[in-house]
Amino acid sequence: MKVRTRYAPSPTGYLHIGNARTALFTYLYARHFGGDFIIRIEDTDTLRNIADGEESQFKYLKWLGLDWQESPIEGGDYGPYRQLERLDIYEKYANELIDMGLAYKEFREDSDKYAIRFRVPENKTYTFNDIVRGELTFQSKEVEDWIIMKDSGIPTYNFAVVIDDHLMKITHVLRGEEHITNTPKQMMVYEAFGWDIPTFGHMTIIVNEQRKKLSKRDKDVLQFISEYEEAGYLPEAMFNFISLLGFSPEGEEEILSHDEIIKAFNPARLSKSPAMFDKVKLAYINSRYIKMLEDEDLKEKVKPFLNKANIKIVSDEWLLSLVQLFKDRLHYLGEIVELYEQFFSDEFEINEEMLLLLKEYDSLALLELFLNKLTNLEDFKSDNINNVIKESGKETNHKGKALFQPTRIAVTGEISGPSLPASMALLGKEIVLSRITKTIEKLRGILWEKYY
C-alpha cells in the first residue's frame, strides 16, 4: 500500500515553528517511503480564520523546501481540499451514522436546530500502536457522547478529520502529542464505518531552554517561520534544524542536506522526550550554511538587509570585500548590519586591558612608524597595507604576536578578528589613521604616567 501523509493546518494564523515541525516530519515520512504528501486546509473555525493565513502557510512551507502532490492549489483526485467546501460530505456521513443508530440529534431548546452526537459504545477498549510511544490504550467509559456536527452544519474536528483522512486514503498521521486524547474518538468513527484506521504517531512537545513548553507568549524565541526569513536565516538551515527537533539521525554529523535528511529519516529514531529549541545550535547550523555559500551568492543575499538599514553600498567590489570579511562571523544574514555598525563605529575605544597589552609589547615606536608609513601610502589596498605592516615590524624588530596584535588593537580595538589588511582597506584611510592616532595618544598617556 502506498504511503500517504497529510499536513492539515487551520488558516487562523501564520506558520508557527511547532506546526512547521509537524509538516516537516509528515513530509519526511512520505518522502522517505516513496509516498505522497498532501496539504489540506481545515478552515471550519471561521471566526478565527485570518485573510492571509492560508497563503502564509503555503508560502513558508515552500520556503522551507517542502513540496507536495495535492493541495487546494494544485488540486488532486481526492478534493476538495478545504473543509468548508466539503460540508455536504460531512452531512452525508453524519446522517449515515444516525441511520445506523450510532449517532443522534440533540435539539436546541425551543428550536428546530440540532447538533448531532456520536453514541459512544459501552465498555469498549481502544488500543493503538503509536509510532513514537508504542502501545496506548483508552476505555470508552472515559469519553462521553460527543458532538460530531454542530447545529450550524459545521463538523467538529474529530469527525471531519476521520472523513477526510479516509476519503483521501491517508495511511499515516504524524501530529503533536496534544492530539493523543483525540485518537479514541477518531477510532470510534473509523470502526463505526468499518474503515481501516491509519497509523498514528504523536510527536513530543518542543520546549525552550528553561525546559518549559514553547508557547507563542515566549518572547525569547522567534515563533513564526516568516520571522526567521526576515532575520536572514537560510531555508536549508531551518529545514536541517527543525528536522532535529525530536529526531536524531545515525552517526555524529548533524549538518545534512535536504536529500540526506530524507534518506536518514527513520520513524524508530523519533524521540520520546521533549525536543529542546536550542537557539545556539540553530545559530551554529545557520552559520555553517552561510559559510557554504559562494561569496557572490552571499553578497546578493545580504544586500536587502544593508539597504533596509540605509547603509550605503559603495561599490560591488566594496560589498564583496565586506562579505568576505564577515562571512565567518555571520550567524544570520541580518547580522551583517550589526557587524557593519560595530566595525565602522565612530565610538572607537581602547580598553585598559588592550592598553596594557600594547605597553607590554613596547608598541609605541611600532605604532608611530606604522602611522607614518600609512599616512604616506597612496594606494590604500590590502596588499599594500600588508607590506606596510611587515615593514613596520621589521624596522622596529617586532614580529609574531608582538607585531600583529598591537597593529590590530590600534585599528579595531580587538586582539583577533578577520584579516587586518582587508579590514583596514574596507574601513578606509581616514578612519584608520584617526584610530591609530587616538591609540598612540592613549598609549603615550599611560607611559607618561609611568615616569611622572
CA distance 164 to 196: 13
Three cell numbers, residue 408: 590590530
CA distance 331 to 282: 9
Closest alpha carbon to 214 in 224, 205, 227: 205
Hey, how many other C-beta atoms are within 10 angstroms of the C-beta on 14? 20
Domain ranges of the chain: 4-206, 225-290, 295-330, 352-451
Lowest mean pLDDT among 135-139, 151-155, 178-182, 441-445: 441-445
- In this prediction, residue 452 has a pLDDT band, given cuts at 50, 70 and 90, of very low
Half-sphere exposure of 187 (CA within 13 A, CB side): 21
Hey, how many other C-beta atoms are within 10 angstroms of the C-beta on 12? 15
What pLDDT sits at residue 214? 85
| Positive or negative torsion for Cα 207, 213, 215, 218 | negative
Mean pLDDT of the region 110-134: 96
The SS3 assignment for 153 reads coil
Mean pLDDT of the region 148-156: 96
- In this prediction, residue 46 has a pLDDT band, given cuts at 50, 70 and 90, of confident
In the numeric block, the cell 566594496 is attached to 318
The DSSP H or E segment spanning 149 is strand 146-149
Residue 134's DSSP bridge partners are: 130
pLDDT at position 451 over 60:
no
Three cell numbers, residue 379: 594606494
CA distance 307 to 337: 10
Mean pLDDT of the region 67-82: 97
Q: Which CATH class is domain 4-206?
A: alpha beta
Fold (CATH) for 352-451: Arc Repressor Mutant, subunit A (1.10.10)
In the numeric block, the cell 550605503 is attached to 312
Residues of the chain above pLDDT 90, percent? 87
CA distance 16 to 60: 10
Q: For the chain, count helices (H), then strands (E).
A: 18, 11
CA distance 201 to 177: 8
Query: Contact, 182 vs 146, CB < 8 A?
Result: no
- Which member of 141, 212, 213, 216 is catalytic? 216
> Is 263 annotated in the active site?
no
CA distance 8 to 173: 10
pLDDT (tens digit per residue) in 381-405 = 999 999 999 999 999 999 999 999 9
CA distance 381 to 426: 9
Q: Which DSSP string do the residues of 193-208 spell out, in sequence order? A: HTPPPPEEEEEPPEE-
Mean pLDDT of the region 166-180: 97
What pLDDT sits at residue 449? 61
CA distance 426 to 113: 75
Closest alpha carbon to 114 in 145, 150, 158, 147: 150
Hey, how many other C-beta atoms are within 10 angstroms of the C-beta on 2? 10
What pLDDT sits at residue 129? 97
Closest alpha carbon to 235 in 285, 308, 302, 175: 285
Mean pLDDT of the region 342-358: 88
Q: Burial letters for 366-386: b for 16+ Cβ neighbours within 10 Å, e otherwise?
A: bbbbbbebbeebeebebeebb
pLDDT at position 316 over 50:
yes
pLDDT (tens digit per residue) in 22-31 = 999 999 999 9
- Give phi and psi for 260, each to the nearest 5: -65, -35
- In this prediction, residue 207 has a pLDDT band, given cuts at 50, 70 and 90, of very high
CA distance 69 to 290: 30
pLDDT (tens digit per residue) in 90-117 = 999 999 999 999 999 999 988 899 999 9
pLDDT (tens digit per residue) in 408-421 = 999 999 988 889 99
- Give phi and psi for 387, each to the nearest 5: -65, -40
What pLDDT sits at residue 167? 98
Query: Contact, 355 vs 443, CB < 8 A?
Result: yes
Three cell numbers, residue 411: 585599528
Report the alpha-carbon angle 144-149-150, nearest 5: 95
What pLDDT sits at residue 217? 75
Residue 200's DSSP bridge partners are: 173
Angle at which helices 420-427 and 429-451 cross, to 10°: 110
Average pLDDT, the chain: 94
- In this prediction, residue 346 has a pLDDT band, given cuts at 50, 70 and 90, of confident
How many Å is the maximal CA-CA distance in the chain? 105
CA distance 40 to 57: 11
Closest alpha carbon to 286 in 249, 229, 234, 227: 234
pLDDT (tens digit per residue) in 212-241 = 888 777 778 899 999 999 999 999 999 999
CA distance 15 to 20: 6
Name the DSSP class of 120.
P
Which homologous superfamily does the CATH classification assign to the domain defined by 225-290?
Glutamyl-trna Synthetase; Domain 2 (1.10.1160.10)
pLDDT (tens digit per residue) in 286-301 = 999 999 999 999 999 9
Pairwise pLDDT comparison (62 vs 348), residue with the higher score = 62
pTM value is: 0.91
